[in-house]
Structure 1
């Protein structure tokens, strides 16, 4: 039996991580900071400087900002927050943009009032928005997570001092997490303690996946999978997750429930589990528990990787999803652990080259790989300690992936950014 303290800790992780967000999380975070800065400035800025870490540039450059009429870029995200953004809505900050707001965004884009500069930082998720009007200047820093303020100031006076790049790490310490405890929590927790974020995840992520399957978004990866692969449950698990990304990366305004700061990861970890549960006809409570298992397994992996890196996060999310499937199938701890290990050993090297339409294809590949890993595990087959990055235990393998992604892939991340900005 888990202690009450451990149960509360895991429940809080779900509450904190499974947030509602519109569009790709990085441009929305930029819009959030800009909207907050506009409120502090008290008027529209005459010019803006956005100092962004490489990972922010990478994840905003090629993705459509929702509610802007198909526009992309950091400059667009900044101006969307300034013209019509409501900072009180956090990651739904630009949900209510009007035609008048869109016209002003285009006008200021043409005028070039926003300048983007590379921020050299030890943090992957780090940016500072500076807004200027007359003699006034406001600076808003976001660091470590998408809604976490670092230093906020107006005319040199510090208004808020949160986590800073000089004193803090890249996020909450989740080193206490272990797969055995996640499984125990999933089975023991009072479902009412975890119901709210998971119910939101089902509703939001299913809705955007259906939009991706029925409307023309992105490269139509989800629709293509359904057209060529049919309506088997295994194909639908891939197609639903991919379709959600088709829509989200191309500017669909429907919100999603994120996982580890990412909507793509939130959809990848949840939609295969939802599809599989529907095929089995399990109770709604069992679906909620399976989603609990899936989300926590994904968050566990990302704890040592960080919110942003050169390691494609949908790999962690797809691996989490098969842990949810394993819960529904009532397989043993050993099979669950082997499924996770198999998935990570197979596709653990997929790189993140920013948010864009091809994320949907990567999601489909990650889910396919994770499903293969699970099928192998059910046959008691898999990859063992000493084979590449595989450790003696599943927890060691997850730690090895975290080390590779957070430390080993730093140069990969830098080179990807150089390619993307033409250097």
Structure 2
């Protein structure tokens, strides 16, 4: 089956309010509770795979005033979430709903179960209320509801992703198709963009820029972007193309990880991926004489390359996807924007991979802004290096002879080589969480 760039944008790029792991938990709870006569519940049980568990432990939930927790995410979804909004399920939240959800958590109505041996994204919510039991199952993608069950009977619902069964998503065929393409094919997809696509890509810029502006205005989260900007104003560091990309991208992550009630335009299932895939390119354009159409084509290429890498690494892993997947997309887009050829883009992807492949994912939290700052700056640097003839040789480490082989090697590293690393990261986080210190 053959796909178009429009198909890829439709399946891979979407608004997401809050970190997508707790959002997926909230979505499952909201979908389950929608089967019941009322939102009152006696108990909620959540079963989560290790990566969803890891990414949802510490990140703030938007609209809660800085609160966090997987149990709270489930309670919020059940109390006030709208499952028809998918990754924006928590948009309807009010202060009263947050209080209700917090009270349910304090009353011990929520239990979170870690499925230590589960491979792949898995979020299951079971809600007991008034003699009924409702269940929702999300698999493979954060908004991919594959089944709804009420009192042991399957329920047919428009909330269930079309054509999906447990373990299968509408994205699987697209990813299989992507894997058959080479870099020239991926670049050529941008030639098929139409006015509707350009409008959607511009919407993604606007959505993510609102987060960046929020981070720079209020210094939310860790305040990485605002601090970098302050250092530049004080002339302690110089604001150039690289620093501008770092400021914009990290500021948006600061706001998102800090619980700002604003959506991010995600890429390949992650809001932070979307920030990295879009914002460094938008920052670089201010230093160049380019029209908006060219900039949006570069952003489209970034989404394409990000999706290509994620097809190999999987949705969640021990490797920081913002660095190796969205970073690869960003450097490809920046190289394109700078007038580079396919050969230059290939070199930039290799340069970035050699630089960032070792960055681990230790869960979603305020500190992600530091990693996004690094990814954004390195994406610009890798592009500039490639354009000036600096290219990592294929004899180096995991770098392949082609960019496609390099990206496949990243996938092997993430999906096979770092399984034990992922377990160790989660164990460290769990020991810290339950420590009395």
Tell me the CA shift for residue 178 of structure 1: 2.4
- Structure 1: how far apart are the matches of 2:340 and 2:391? 15
- Structure 2: how far apart are the matches of 1:16 and 1:291? 16
Q: How many residues are treated as equivalent by the alignment?
A: 416
- Structure 1: how far apart are the matches of 2:205 and 2:318? 28
Map Cα deviations across residues 108-151 of structure 1 (whole Å, 9 max, x no partner). 12101000011245433111100001321011110000111123
- In 2, are the aligned partners of 1:170 and 1:306 still within 8 Å (CA)? no
Q: Which residue of 2 aligns with 1:354?
A: 363
Q: Does 1:226 align with 2:229?
A: yes
- Structure 2: how far apart are the matches of 1:86 and 1:146? 15
- Structure 2: how far apart are the matches of 1:231 and 1:345? 25
Write the mapping of 1:302-321 to structure 2, written as runs, cut at 5 A: 302-315=310-323, 316-321=325-330
Map Cα deviations across residues 45-103 of structure 1 (whole Å, 9 max, x no partner). 11000011111110110001111222100111011111111111111111121122122
| Residue range with higher mean Cα deviation, 377-386 or 73-82 | 377-386
Map Cα deviations across residues 222-249 of structure 1 (whole Å, 9 max, x no partner). 1111222343232111111001000101
Which residue, out of 347, 350, 370, partners 2:379?
A: 370
User: Any unmatched runs of 5+ in structure 1?
Assistant: none
Tell me the CA shift for residue 266 of structure 1: 0.2
Write the mapping of 1:55-204 to structure 2, written as runs, cut at 5 A: 55-160=51-156, 162-165=164-167, 171=172, 172-173=175-176, 174-186=178-190, 188-204=191-207
- In 2, are the aligned partners of 1:191 and 1:288 still within 8 Å (CA)? no
| Residue range with higher mean Cα deviation, 79-88 or 47-56 | 79-88
- Structure 1 counterpart SS, 2:7: helix
| Superposition CA RMSD, Å | 1.8
Tell me the CA shift for residue 105 of structure 1: 1.3
Q: Does 1:238 align with 2:238?
A: no
Q: Which residue of 1 aligns with 2:234?
A: none
- Structure 2: how far apart are the matches of 1:401 and 1:55? 18
Q: TM-score, structure 2 length as denominator?
A: 0.91
- Structure 1: how far apart are the matches of 2:199 and 2:419? 37
Q: Which residue of 1 aligns with 2:435?
A: none
Q: Which residue of 2 aligns with 1:216?
A: 219
- Structure 1: how far apart are the matches of 2:243 and 2:72? 36
Map Cα deviations across residues 174-200 of structure 1 (whole Å, 9 max, x no partner). 3123211121122x2243252243122
Q: Which residue of 1 aligns with 2:347?
A: 338
Q: Which residue of 1 aligns with 2:333?
A: 324
User: Any unmatched runs of 5+ in structure 2?
Assistant: 232-236, 433-437
When residues 76 and 230 of structure 1 are mapped into structure 2, their CA distance, relative to the original with a 3 A threshold, is farther
Write the mapping of 1:13-32 to structure 2, written as runs, cut at 5 A: 13-32=8-27
Tell me the CA shift for residue 170 of structure 1: 9.1
- Structure 2: how far apart are the matches of 1:323 and 1:415? 32
When residues 230 and 163 of structure 1 are mapped into structure 2, their CA distance, relative to the original with a 3 A threshold, is farther
Map Cα deviations across residues 198-230 of structure 1 (whole Å, 9 max, x no partner). 122111001100111111211100111122234
Q: TM-score, structure 1 length as denominator?
A: 0.94
Q: Does 1:247 align with 2:255?
A: yes
- In 1, are the aligned partners of 2:50 and 2:118 still within 8 Å (CA)? no
| Residue range with higher mean Cα deviation, 199-208 or 362-371 | 362-371
